[in-house]
Structure 1
Amino acid sequence: MKLYKLSPSPYVRKVHVMLIETGLIDGVELISGANSPMDPDPELTALNPLGKIPALVRDDGGTLYDSRVICRYLDAKAGAGFYPESRIWEVLTLEATADGMLDAALTMVYEGRFREPEKQSEDWVEAQWLKVARALDALEARWMSHLAGPVDAGQIALGCALGYLDLRHEARGWRNGHPELSAWYARFADRASMQETAPQG
């Protein structure tokens, strides 16, 4: 298999963590490239018409994209149980919550990186952060018992999302008011898969 990636994408990191956790990492060629929403890589768009990473080329030549699709495929391929049937809806909802946080956090970055200064909207940026803040509050209030259970795909997604908040929005101080979530993340970030995939910038 081949994984098309770009560091420090948190969606790529999620797939990379899943590869390590499932033991499939040694069977995958990691291919780095240059890609942006304004200038997608032609090689990548040939594999994924949306021009987004990650994209996983399977051994049979087919390509999967969207980190949730890829992670579900890798888990099924390895029989690893990161999407346990007994908790499947909770796992999928947690994964969707984490990815929604990432969507909002990335939109904030893109607003400053790809729009001309005179077209940037602080109100838009703050509206995106409110999505993140509401998700953090919900996680602290309602998800800690799930996070205390066995590691699953939702937890992997959340760990990568919180890591991205540290990387790009550290000044927002997401840990404030979320002591249990902060303590969970400190433990989860110590996993070998998270340490190995920690973004460098």
Structure 2
Amino acid sequence: MPFAGHPSVGAAWVLHRLGLVHGPVLRQRCEIGTVTLRLGGVDDPVWLDGNRPRLGAEVDSLGPLAAVGLGEGDLVGLPTYVAGSGLDFCYLFVRPGAIARAVPDLQRLRRLRWQGSRIGGVSVVGWHDGAARVRVFTDDIGAAEDPATGSSALGLGVVLVATGLLPGEGQSRSPSPRASSLGRPSTLRCTVTAEGGRAVASSVGGGVVPVATGTIRRPRG
């Protein structure tokens, strides 16, 4: 993958915890370029600042809808965009009940990702009880659905500014994307900064929980 939020945040947290990096800011280089991570204490959230946001033209929703097993009647009337702040995704805004019915079609997803500029996948977004419920589908991570996608969360704020759901000036806290369809509840913290009606910066943050440790023994010679 050219870029992903969780590995970047996790790697920064581990390096910081081991004392291998110092200071509140760490820059990581990956295929999309250099991203900035902001660290506090060991138990504080790690924040990832994406690259300069990109917003493509409005796209026909029929292809993305078919790729996730939904139809035009599931849309809520908002435009469908390809956008990102590191890795691009296609964003579909649907009725809350449609999110649970989404079923990925891997062949359609693959064709969609390679039409024009490559995208990371399709992000299906709906609102429930004031929170953004999100499911992200792709065909190239070894599973059809990602339980929580930091790179997609970065682009969500970009699209929310473009559709007028977030202010076009200043910094806003983007609705926290929540995912639970795979039995792995996840909430991501997001902010977006806008100028003149367009997003100019986007960040995603979250805590890190160690689940395993290990030792690598380097062979002699």
Superposition TM-score, scaled by structure 2 size? 0.26
Relative to total residues, which structure has the larger helix share, 1 or 2? 1
Superposition TM-score, scaled by structure 1 size? 0.28
Relative to total residues, which structure has the larger strand share, 1 or 2? 2
Max radius of gyration: which structure?
2
Higher relative contact order (CA 8 A, sep 6+): 1
